[in-house]
Amino acid sequence: MIYDCAIIGGGPAGLNAALVLGRSRRNVVLFDDDNARNRVVREAHGFLTRDGIRPSELRKLAHEELAVYPTVEVIREKAVDAERVTKTHYEVTSASGKVYHCTKILLATGLKDEQPNIPGIERFYGTSLFSCPYCDGWEVRDEPLAVIADKNVYKLAKEVFTWSRDLIVFTNGEGRLELEDRSRLEAHGIRVFEDIISALEGTDGQLECVRLEDGTLIDRSYGFVSPLWSHGDHFAESLGCELNEIGGIRTDEYGRTNVWNVYAAGDMANIVPAQLIVAAGSGSAAAIGINGDLTNEFFDGPT
């Protein structure tokens, strides 16, 4: 069987694309190894009608909805390779070694986060330390907050200040604020520490204080970090997709990349803003682009 489209990635972008393509009566295979970027958080926010839902519950509901459409097949495995055989034919290999044949590929595997180099940070990430104030800022409003970042620290601090005036910035000895930016933060009562953080302290995932290298303890209850990110797989590189100026896969408004029959959606294309609803919307747009291209090719032939 040759599928109309293979969707690599079962996050909001891939799931929503599968839904739209299923409703368009397209034969779709979706690879989902349940390794979503937001799997560490307890709640997902900003998704209309589902604000505060557990990510696992959102995925469960999505799979139940996809099951209604007989042309959508979900493979609970990681896709490990994708190879172009002809101009209109790709082969995608799953982790178990099975090969799936398709006409088009949608890349929707998201991004991989790498946290700042602070001992024990993984104990708090997703519980009391977060990366997106638009996703989690409301829940920690007016709390004593930390911003931990070595890049884009001024931008993140300004954003977080929207949710709490009790804010302290830590650059962890890695980056330095421009004097003008530091002065602007301090003018609003935001203290800045450029010392190395030796530890984050707290219990059961709840941050209690930040310990600096000289032993100073600074009480904080929650915080936002600016992690480094990378593409979680090799597909963009191996398939020859161009990247944009901020490192995302370059696409048009319908998810088309520079490679014929390869599309991209979600965080790996958008980069920012990185929200569930934005990723789902880009998945829907890519699905419309894929279906439109399949329709045009059926009537008019490949361009």
Q: Are residues 210 and 191 in the same domain?
A: yes
Residues 24, 98 within the same domain: yes
Neighbouring CB atoms inside 10 A of 260's CB total 13
Question: 107 with 6: CB under 8 angstroms?
Answer: no
Same domain, 17 and 163: no
3-state secondary structure at position 98? coil
Domain final position from 177, 199, 225: 225
Calpha distance 15→282 (Å, rounded): 11
Do 6 and 109 lie in one domain? The reply is yes
Q: Are 61 and 49 in contact (CB under 8 A)?
A: no
Q: Residue 174: its pLDDT value, please?
A: 76
Within this chain, do residues 214 and 252 fall inside the same structural domain, yes or no?
Answer: no
Q: In angstroms, rounded to a whole number, what is the distance separating the alpha carbons of residues 204 and 127?
A: 9
Helix axes 276-300, 12-23, angle to 10 degrees: 40
| CA–CA distance, 83 with 275 (Å, rounded to integer) | 30
- The residue from 175, 195, 225 where one domain ends is 225
Q: What is the pLDDT of residue 40?
A: 62
DSSP-based three-state secondary structure for 200: strand
Query: Residue 294's pLDDT is what?
Result: 97
Count CA within 13 A, CB hemisphere, residue 80: 8
Domain residues for 255?
Answer: 2-113+229-300
Specify the number of domains making up the chain.
2
166-171 contacts at long range (C-beta below 8 A, 24 or more positions apart):
166/142, 168/144, 168/192, 168/193, 168/210, 168/218, 168/220, 169/193, 170/146, 170/194, 170/195, 170/197, 170/210
Domain-ending residue, one of 225, 251, 286: 225
d(CA 128, CA 105): 37
- Report yes or no: 232 and 111 within 8 Å, Cβ to Cβ: yes
Sign, CA torsion 269/275/278/279: positive
- Beta 145-148 vs 167-170: how paired, if at all? parallel
The single-letter DSSP state of residue 150 is S
Q: Shortest CA distance to 216 belongs to which of 267, 168, 264, 149?
A: 168
In this prediction, residue 123 carries a pLDDT of 95
Which residues of the chain have a pLDDT value below 70? 37-40, 175, 303
